[in-house]
Amino acid sequence: MGKTKKIPKLIGTSVPRVDLQEKATGEAIFTDDIQFGNKLLYARIKRSPHPHALIKSIDTSQAENYPGVKAVVTGADFAGRIGLYLKDRHIFARDRVRYVGEPVAGVAAVSEDVAERALDLIQVEYERLPAVFLPQDAIKPDAPLIHPDLGEYEVVNFIYPKPGTNISNHFKIRKGEPENSWQNCAAIVENEYYIPHIQHVPLETHVAVAKVDLSGKITLWTSSQSPFAQRDLIAKTWGMSPSDIRVISPFVGGGFGCKAGVTMEALPIVIAMKVKGHPVKLRLTREEEFYTNFVRQALLIRLKIGCDAEGNILAMENTMYWDGGASTEYGVNIARAGGYSCTGPYDIPNVKADSYCVYTNNTIGGPYRGFGMSELHTGIEQCIDELADKIQIDKVAFRKRNVVEAGDILATGMVMHPNGIKTCIDKVAGAIEWGKSSQSSDPHKKRGKGIAVMWKAPAMPPNAGSSATLKFNSDGTVFLSVGGQEIGQGSFTVAAQMAAAALGVPVEWVRISRPLDTNYSSYEWQTVASRITWTMGNAILAAAKDARDQIFKIVAEAWSENPDDLELENGVVTSKFSSRKISLKDFVITGIPKGNDQGWIGGPIIGRGKFMPTYVTGLDKETGQGKRAVVHFTTGAQGFIVEIDTQTGKLEIIKAVSAFDVGKAINPDLVKTQIEGGMMQGISSALFEQLVFKEGVLQNPSFVDYRIATTVDTPNQMECYFVEVPQDDGPYGARGVGEHPMVPTIAAIGNAIYDAVGIRLHGPPFTSEKIYFAIKERGQTGS
């Protein structure tokens, strides 16, 4: 995989993104831009107004007869359940609804307007059931049971639901003897934090167009991070062969996890089955995007951490209650990831962790950038700060003393690999001048500095695979077919870079086959987990090697030379032995003629490669122990200098700094743009964002009251660094970094607030109101 070989110059160069011009001109096609012609029908969904209720009856007769309506469906039209790790969701509700916004009926009509009016004609009779909205309430024995059939749901073997309860997963870590360690601790901190629901807010809302032809084959055009996973999930649920389902996904206007798995995409499929031959489009409004699809699970986390007099962390108890919402088909794995990552990037010998994924009657919790890590670290990193204070050791020094090093045995028993977390800490601490106090010129304003560290492993099944195909054109240019989706992170660009570097052609010669199309693109599990550069990259390198092997074999045969003496660079094959040359364009499709017109050697070259980790093991159900829980961890640190106006509680970010160990930055500037964007999303989640639910009803389903960061909310200064401690099986040593920049942010800002004004807020968002009253309570209002 190129770890001992010299790294090509192209790797580590900030080549321009391959999709810049079409996005700058507006030519880039997103799913709602595709022109479908006159047969297109528009779908709208009737949704439950109740958080928990039985459906007594649905009368669709008036809607069916409404002029312009072509199809009406309800849960009665499709019995199947769908789910990635746990099949717990009906496409349209059957017999009961479990959250406000759950699809109850669907209409396809000649216009959105007609479809919407038809919805009003559908009569649904509900019988309300008691509902539950907090995970700590939902686990009580007398809580309303949201999924009475939990025991019957298909589930993967690494998720452990508890039938007869609202617990859809309980992941445990039992390492060492925490209960006997507290007596040896010189300082112990015990705290509880609540991190509320937030939403991904992609600028492009969900949109899917489904068409079912007369033979029953399905075509789905959708803004998707996961065309292949969607195809396979739909195939399983419909009992079809995946080859009869085609998922096409053009550019994605932001995913952040919400466009992974199958959510609303299945709705137009059910409707389309009633109007075969017609494409049926469903586009979520911004309001629907806020409350009907995926949100980030809320978390209640209880931590107890203790250290000895020297500041070595001896023990941790970590209990996490994840508010999974009405369906936890995806959320169960977030609870698992929270579980095996429960210590944060620290070496802790005694650990007891319980991570519960709990059903509630809130909106469906799903994958969100960080996959549980932001929520987890919000707790851990604030707790660590308090512990360092208690034992009176500098917070940076305390962290450096305890962070994981190569060779450490982690909470699951896995051995930690080399990593650059200490260098990241040093970079960040240096950039915010840790140790030097910062003063505001305004007597009412107080400044503080805070730092937080993090780690995250790609959370995925142990056998999530990637593949890549390189197809040549007669001029030597190449079509690279991958399944890794461009969701803004730059994956198409680094794919082209890696292919060009590994193959030996200029980067401009590599085109990505797009849009992604499961009929033609090479298989990729999903574009999630910050895994694509690493896993797709490995597949690309394998495909490039495969192509090179074929190329060298052909040329060697033609020249009667040894393939080992051949080199391919800039699209030209040269021999180190004889100095002969031949350009790819001269033979890569049509082969090389034998001497004296005696025939031909070669033919059209196709390089193919795959990558799937082979070494991830299962974990013991009772202890969470196993040889290798995850493929690897990306580590990093973040620091903030904040300034707080004590008279209003308003917080301004003076400086924001990040450093992440990416193994090898394939495209340094794209790594930086990911860090910048992630940090800003983190800042937004720390200061502004919260989905406010009242009895299951979202109170702020629009930008008016769900605030996100705007241009004027940016830090005065932002610095991004990356560190490169190579990943042993990463392409050129690379590791992912897409999610990580928003993971430590809430904690780092929380720690900076404490440094500034001596207050601890036990959950974001850190609004000016919360800060103001906390300061007042502490008796520190400026005067």
Partner 1 sequence: MVNPLPRLPQFEYIRMDSVEKTVSFLKDKQDEARPLLGGTDLFVVMRDRRLHPKFLVDLKHLDGFKTLTFDNKKGLTVGAAVSLNQLISSKEVQKHFPVLAQAAKQVGGYQLRNRATLVGNLCNASPCGDTIGPSMIYNGKANVVGPSGERVIPLNGFFTGPGQTSLEIGEIVQSLSFPLPPKGSKGTYLSIGRNKLSDLAMAAVTVSAFPNEKSTSGFHFRIALSAVAPTVIYVKEAQELLADQPINDTTIEKAAQIARRVCKPIDDIRASKAYRREMIYTLTLRGLHEVWKSLQS
Partner 2 sequence: MKMHTINININGHKESLEVSSNLTLLHMIREELALTGTKNGCEAGECGACTVMVNDEPVNSCMVLAIECDGADILTIEGLTASGELNKLQKSFMKLNAIQCGFCTPGMLLSAYALLQRNPNPTESEIKEALVGNLCRCTGYERIIQAVQDAVSE
- Please give the residue ranges that form the binding site for partner 1 (CB under 8 A): 44, 47, 49, 100-101, 112-113, 116, 283, 285, 287-288, 647-648, 650, 688, 692, 697-700, 702, 704-705, 707, 709-710, 712-713, 767-769, 772-773, 776
* Distances from the Cα of 738 to the Cα of 278, 440, 497, 544, 661, angstroms: 38, 34, 18, 25, 12
Q: Are 651 and 643 in contact (CB under 8 A)?
A: yes
- Whether the bond between 515 and the residue before it is cis, its omega within 30 degrees of 0, is yes
472 with 478: CB under 8 angstroms? yes
Helix (H) or strand (E) segment spanning residue 479:
strand 478-482
Among 6, 26, 38, 183, binds partner 2 (CB under 8 A): 26
With binding defined as CB under 8 A, does residue 680 bind partner 2?
A: yes
Is 44 one of the binding residues for partner 2 (CB under 8 A)? no
The position carrying tokens 């290798």 is 628
Cβ distance to partner 2 smaller for residue 203 or 214:
203
- To partner 1, the closest distance from the beta carbon of 767 in angstroms equals 7
Which CB, 550 or 767, lies closer to partner 1?
A: 767
Print the binding letters for residues 255-274 with partner 2: x by CB under 8 A, - otherwise.
-x------------------
Among 103, 345, 413, 678, binds partner 2 (CB under 8 A): 678
10 Å Cβ neighbour count for 180?
A: 10
CB of 750 to partner 2, least distance (A): 20
Please state the closest distance from residue 486 (CB atom) to partner 2, in A.
Answer: 8
Beta-carbon neighbour count of residue 422 at 10 Å? 20
Comparison of 26 and 599: residue with beta carbon closer to partner 1: 26
Distance CA 318, CA 192 (A): 10
From the list 314-322, 327-335, 525-533, 701-709, the region that binds partner 2 by CB under 8 A is: 701-709
Q: Could you give the CA distance from residue 105 to residue 46 in angstroms, rounded to a whole number?
A: 5
Peptide bond into 765 cis (omega under 30): yes
For the record, the structure tokens of 654 come out as 């003076």
Could you say which of partner 1, partner 2, none residue 565 binds, taking C-beta under 5 to 8 angstroms by partner kind? Answer: none
Question: Least CB distance from residue 367 to partner 1, whole Å?
Answer: 24
CA distance 170 to 735: 29
Q: Is the dihedral of CA 692, 694, 695, 696 positive or negative?
A: negative
* Residue 163 or 677 with smaller CB distance to partner 1: 677
Using CB under 8 A as the binding rule, whether residue 495 contacts partner 2 is answered as no
252: partner contacted, choices partner 2, partner 1, none (Cβ within 5-8 A by kind):
partner 2
Helix (H) or strand (E) holding 322: strand 313-325
Residue recorded with tokens 């699951």? 412
Q: How far is the CB of 285 from partner 2 (least distance, A)?
A: 7
Nearer to partner 1, 577 or 703 (CB): 703
Q: Does 204 bind partner 2 (CB under 8 A)?
A: yes
Give whichever of 50 and 200 is closer to partner 2, judged by the CB atom: 200
How many Å apart are CA 92 and CA 266, to the nearest integer? Answer: 9
- Sign of torsion, CA 576 578 584 588? negative
Residue 643 Cβ, how far from partner 1 at the closest point, in Å? 13
SS (H, E, C) 151-166: HHCCECCCCCCCCCCC
Give dist(CA 272, CA 746) in Å, integer. 43
Q: Which does 47 bind (CB under 5 to 8 A by kind): partner 1, partner 2, none?
A: partner 1
CB closer to partner 2, 214 vs 704 = 704
Interface with partner 2 (CB under 8 A), residue from 48, 136, 166, 205: 205
CB of 660 to partner 2, least distance (A): 15
Question: Which range of residues in 18-26, 50-58, 172-180, 381-389 is near partner 2 by CB under 8 A?
Answer: 18-26
Q: Which two tokens stand for residue 392?
A: 């009176």
Q: Which of partner 2, partner 1, none is residue 101 near (CB under 5 to 8 Å by kind)?
A: partner 1
- Is 782 exposed, middle or buried (CB count within 10 Å of its CB: 0-12, 13-18, 19+)? middle
Residues touching partner 2, count (CB under 8 A): 53
Residue pair 341/456 in contact (Cβ under 8 Å)? The answer is yes
- With binding defined as CB under 8 A, does residue 40 bind partner 2? no
Binding to partner 2 by residue 700, rule CB under 8 A? no
* Per CB under 8 A, 488 contacts partner 2: yes
How far is the C-alpha of 743 from the C-alpha of 741, rounded, in Å? 6
> What span, in angstroms and rounded, lies between the C-alpha atoms of 64 and 66?
6
SS3 of residue 433 by DSSP? coil
What residues between 643 and 662 interact with partner 2 by CB under 8 A?
Answer: none
Indicate which of partner 2, partner 1, none lies near residue 166 (CB less than 5 to 8 Å, by partner kind).
Answer: none
**Does residue 35 belong to the site contacting partner 2 (CB under 8 A)?**
yes
Dihedrals φ, ψ of 365, to 5°?
-80, 140
Helices (H), 324-446: 331-340, 373-390, 395-402, 421-431
Instruction: Choose one: 59-67, 121-129, 203-211, 544-552; the region binding partner 2 (CB under 8 A).
Output: 203-211
User: Considering beta carbons, is residue 340 or 706 the nearer one to partner 2?
Assistant: 706
Catalog residues that contact partner 2 under the rule CB under 8 A.
16-17, 19-30, 32-33, 35, 200-205, 251-254, 256, 285-286, 487-490, 669-670, 673, 676-681, 702-704, 708-712, 714, 718
